[in-house]
């Protein structure tokens, strides 16, 4: 592809995502939702979907990942918990239908060239807790998930498809036992788990642990767990899940 055609493709992708973002901003269900796309790319984009913590806005959650995503050439969709569905500012307290989130991701993937085998989900604090509460639901769309400073064991069965999980957790978080219970659920379901412990880390240190360097490392870990959207995860993930 010539450089001119690359530029044209990039501009068309940016226009598509800007249109999606503008449409979301004008809709109460999407208030404060953000969509970011890298300035340059040559192929279909990996997408990281981010959920904010309690009493936080989607843009603040996106800022934890933007620099690393830009460097790696990823798109980032940061969703605001839906006010028109009864959510105030807490994903886990809302505890709504995971289908709402899946539908929003599908809308972005339809508007821009997102790689369906490289869509990932990350939550911070209360967002991570909500992800854990509905962990089995994510395997139909997401190739892997990230729990940052939160988590809660689901009451449902194991996911239908492999769902690798990365945990960035501090052992001085007062709810650390719940995160460990969630990790045990993934292990009991024979899913691949990466356990990144912030020793002596309270909730504030958990937040600060996700600096640019750590975000890059997590994106690289996620990138190694791409999957065939019509089949199982790649061989690396399947091998990890079998351990």
Look at residues 140, 142, 55, 141 and name the one whose alpha carbon lies nearest to residue 91.
Answer: 55
For 126-136, the pLDDT digits (tens) are: 999 999 999 99
- Is residue 36 within 8 Å of 76, Cβ to Cβ? yes
For residue 40, the model assigns a pLDDT of 72
For residue 111, the model assigns a pLDDT of 85
| Architecture category of domain 3-236 in CATH | 3-Layer(aba) Sandwich (3.40)
For residue 27, the model assigns a pLDDT of 47
Residue 107 to residue 119: CA distance in whole angstroms: 13
For residue 39, the model assigns a pLDDT of 74
For 222, the 3-state DSSP assignment is helix
What's the sign of the alpha-carbon dihedral 141, 243, 69, 53?
positive
**Segment-wise mean pLDDT, segments of 10 residues, the chain, 243 residues:** 40 54 48 80 89 96 96 96 94 97 92 92 98 97 98 95 98 97 98 98 98 98 90 42 35
Q: What is the dihedral of CA 156, 148, 106, 38, to 10 degrees?
A: -160
Q: What is the DSSP string of 188-217?
A: HTT--EEEEEETT--HHHHHHH--HHHHHH
pTM confidence score: 0.85
Average pLDDT, the chain: 86
Tokens 């981010």, residue located:
50
Q: In the chain, which residue ranges form alpha helices assigned H by DSSP?
A: 3-25, 58-63, 66-72, 91-94, 98-111, 126-133, 176-188, 203-209, 212-223, 235-241
Residue 52 to residue 127: CA distance in whole angstroms: 5
């Amino acid at each position: 592809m010539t450089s001119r055609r690359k530029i044209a493709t990039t501009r068309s992708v940016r226009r598509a995502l800007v249109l999606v973002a503008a449409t979301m901003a004008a809709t109460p269900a999407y208030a404060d939702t953000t969509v970011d796309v890298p300035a340059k790319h040559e192929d279909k984009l990996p997408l990281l979907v981010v959920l904010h913590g309690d009493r936080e806005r989607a843009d603040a959650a996106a800022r934890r990942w933007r620099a690393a995503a830009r460097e790696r050439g990823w798109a980032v969709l940061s969703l605001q918990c839906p006010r028109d569905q009864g959510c105030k500012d807490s994903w886990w307290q809302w505890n709504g239908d995971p289908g709402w989130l899946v539908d929003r991701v599908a809308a972005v993937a339809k508007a821009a060239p997102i790689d369906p085998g490289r869509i990932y989900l990350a939550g911070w604090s209360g967002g991570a807790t909500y992800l854990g509460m509905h962990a089995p639901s994510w395997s139909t769309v997401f190739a892997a998930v990230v729990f940052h400073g939160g988590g809660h064991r689901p009451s449902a069965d194991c996911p239908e498809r492999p769902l690798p999980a990365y945990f960035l957790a501090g052992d001085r978080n007062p709810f650390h036992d719940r995160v460990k219970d969630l990790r045990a659920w993934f292990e009991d379901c024979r899913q691949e788990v990466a356990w990144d412990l912030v020793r002596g880390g309270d909730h504030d240190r958990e937040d600060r642990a996700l600096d640019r360097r750590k975000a890059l490392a997590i994106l690289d870990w996620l990138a190694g767990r791409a999957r065939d959207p019509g089949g199982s995860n790649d061989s690396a993930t399947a091998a990890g899940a079998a351990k």
